[in-house]
Structure 1
Amino acid sequence: MLNRKQLDPKKSPTAAFGGRLRRLRDERGWTQDELGVRMGYSGTHISAVETGRRSPTSHFSHSADRAFGTGDKFERQGRAVRNTALLEGFPEYVTHESRATEIRLFELGIVPGLLQTPEYAAAITNGAVRRGAITEQQAEERLALLAERQASLLRTPAPLVYAVLDESCIRRVVGGPEVMAAQLDSLTVFAESPSTVFQVAPYILGERRSFDLPVTLLTLTDRSCIAYSESAQQGRLERDMKLVQPMLTAYHQLQAEAASQAESVAMINQL
């Protein structure tokens, strides 16, 4: 079939779920739309789950078991997906991130994943393991995905990456002095790239800082824009331009208020 995406079920629990869904659908000769009718979902939704762009909810898993007569196999597999270290909505976001032409980041408290050194990222995930927030296996999954995301920035042509970090990101010591020093050095290298813009939003901005939560804005190849934000429990991908446009405006306002790239690098060098 033309443009049929190859699946690797060993890649993650989400990929394994999607691989089984496609295999059983193919065995029965059903199209995605036909399976969607049987399950109460659109063919587009079925496609997104098969390719890992959308995580299966409990309702989706139950519906798949009913459609295929598989008892509770999909539900048990779905629980493994939902127990992953990745928030709902994040796998779909990563798919768009890997193809975006422009990436705009704003982060609070920690350096954003795309800019983290391996040692800094490991310190963050190890801290989550010690707190019992994630398992060691989930930590490994999170670090492996982060490495893939960072590698995707090296594609040609490279995406333009705009990063505005709250001052807390560069002052909060993660992993000890040596790890943090190396992370700060890495940020200055990032700022030197011709495809990046790096700024710090200093504490003195006060109420003039546009965002109180981390946010990522992506510009896709067709020039459409999407926004991704997270709570402690789930991630949300927003495509409606009526909601995305105000966030883009707020981001531009934040860039205007933040320290310039030269000033931001000077702050890091001082630290």
Structure 2
Amino acid sequence: MANIKELSPDSSPQAAFGANLRRLREERGWKQEELGRRMGYSGTHISAVETDRKMPTLRLARSADQAFGIEQSPDTFERQWREIQHGTLLEGFGEFVRHEGRAAEIRLYEVGVMPGLLQTPEYAEALTARAVERGAITPEQGTERIALVEERQAALNRKPPPLMCVALDESCLRRPVGSTATMDGQLSRLVEFAAQPHTILQVVPFTIGDRRPLSLPVTILTLPDRALMSYAESAQRGHLERDNKFVLPTLAAYHQLQAAAPSQDQSVAMVEKLRKGTP
């Protein structure tokens, strides 16, 4: 009998992914080559993923879901992949993205960097390239990160679209990312966003000072059944909150932020000045 490597699913999310892939394959009596053929990969590649020698990708996860016919299951390989990408450092992000894709209302506040939902491809690529250069992520993870940004933005094109309220700290506009052309394109994207009938854009200026009620980025979702949840991030952690006891004070703080910030017309004027290089 061939020497089959023992797996430890609890050792990491990647190992759990590989163990699950092997389990479902063996339940169907398929060899690695057979599963690879069904998924569009070599048997060697499947073996490397099963034994945690190669990171799964979003494409592979979706191919596995199709091969096993579990696309509509709550426990898909795509869900596991998202947990690998975001669950270890940014707890709750994978689940948050799924809810974001069906939310009736999205309210977000961002500091320092443009939020993913509004990033242009060039801006997202510039951010990702720097992360790869620093060794924070691998090139493959960078590719998947950009694909996730595109996927999240595509989900906003549903009918009817969600109401989107975006409050950006002034630092998001003034922090240069990529080339001058990249920033010009990104600022133009903000103006286009503000012109849509289901969006509200406000820039929170530095002059608001200690009157700013929120200090960390936060997103508040209103789901189709009117349930609320919030997602907040620090540098290394994320937290998905569903308890209204904690979500409602965050929502109140967001409304206070909107009240203190300039109007959308004033905010768009600020963006246009920056585009033209006016202080």
TM-score range, shorter chain: 0.7 to 0.9
Between the aligned residues of both structures, percent identity stands at 53
Task: Give 1 or 2 for the bigger CA radius of gyration.
Answer: 2
Q: 1:181 to 1:140 in 2, by over 3 A?
A: same
Q: C-alpha separation between the residues in 2 aligned to 1:21 and 1:104?
A: 41
Query: Does the CA-based 8 Å contact 1:103-1:159 persist in structure 2?
Result: yes
Query: Does the CA-based 8 Å contact 1:85-1:139 persist in structure 2?
Result: no
Q: 1:246 to 1:24 in 2, by over 3 A?
A: farther
| Cα offset, 1:211, TM superposition | 1.1
2:104 paired with 1:101? yes
Q: 1:82 to 1:126 in 2, by over 3 A?
A: closer
Q: C-alpha separation between the residues in 1 aligned to 2:246 and 2:126?
A: 35
Corresponding position of 2:40:
none
Q: C-alpha separation between the residues in 1 aligned to 2:191 and 2:23?
A: 45
Task: Tell me the amino acid that sits aligned with residue 147 of structure 1.
Answer: E
Query: Which of 226, 229, 248 is the aligned partner of 1:226?
Result: 229
What stretches of structure 1 of length at least 5 have no aligned partner?
1-11, 28-46, 58-80
Task: Tell me the amino acid that sits aligned with residue 124 of structure 1.
Answer: L
Deviations 1:178-230 (A, max 9, x none): 10011001100000000100000000100111111100000001101000011
Task: Tell me the amino acid that sits aligned with residue 21 of structure 2.
Answer: R
Q: 1:240 to 1:21 in 2, by over 3 A?
A: farther
| Cα offset, 1:88, TM superposition | 3.0
Query: Does the CA-based 8 Å contact 1:84-1:138 persist in structure 2?
Result: no
Q: C-alpha separation between the residues in 1 aligned to 2:82 and 2:206?
A: 40
Q: C-alpha separation between the residues in 1 aligned to 2:164 and 2:212?
A: 20
Task: Tell me the amino acid that sits aligned with residue 226 of structure 2.
Answer: R
TM-score (norm 2): 0.71
2:172 paired with 1:169? yes
SS in 2 for 1:105: strand
Deviations 1:221-263 (A, max 9, x none): 1101000011222321100000000000000000000110000
| Cα offset, 1:86, TM superposition | 7.1
SS in 2 for 1:87: coil
Query: Does the CA-based 8 Å contact 1:53-1:95 persist in structure 2?
Result: no
| Cα offset, 1:176, TM superposition | 1.8
Query: Which of 234, 239, 244 is the aligned partner of 1:241?
Result: 244
Corresponding position of 1:267:
270
TM-score (norm 1): 0.73
Cα root mean square deviation, aligned: 2.9
Task: Tell me the amino acid that sits aligned with residue 24 of structure 2.
Answer: R
What stretches of structure 2 of length at least 5 have no aligned partner?
1-12, 29-72, 275-279
Corresponding position of 1:181:
184
Q: 1:127 to 1:264 in 2, by over 3 A?
A: same
Corresponding position of 1:87:
90
Q: How does 1:34-183 map to 2 (within 5 A)?
A: 49-50=75-76, 53=79, 81=84, 87-183=90-186
Q: C-alpha separation between the residues in 1 aligned to 2:100 and 2:246?
A: 19
Query: Does the CA-based 8 Å contact 1:48-1:54 persist in structure 2?
Result: no
Q: C-alpha separation between the residues in 2 aligned to 1:229 and 1:250?
A: 13
Corresponding position of 2:21:
20
Query: Does the CA-based 8 Å contact 1:53-1:93 persist in structure 2?
Result: no
| Cα offset, 1:173, TM superposition | 1.1
Q: 1:15 to 1:252 in 2, by over 3 A?
A: farther
| Cα offset, 1:26, TM superposition | 7.4
Q: 1:25 to 1:234 in 2, by over 3 A?
A: farther
Query: Does the CA-based 8 Å contact 1:18-1:52 persist in structure 2?
Result: no
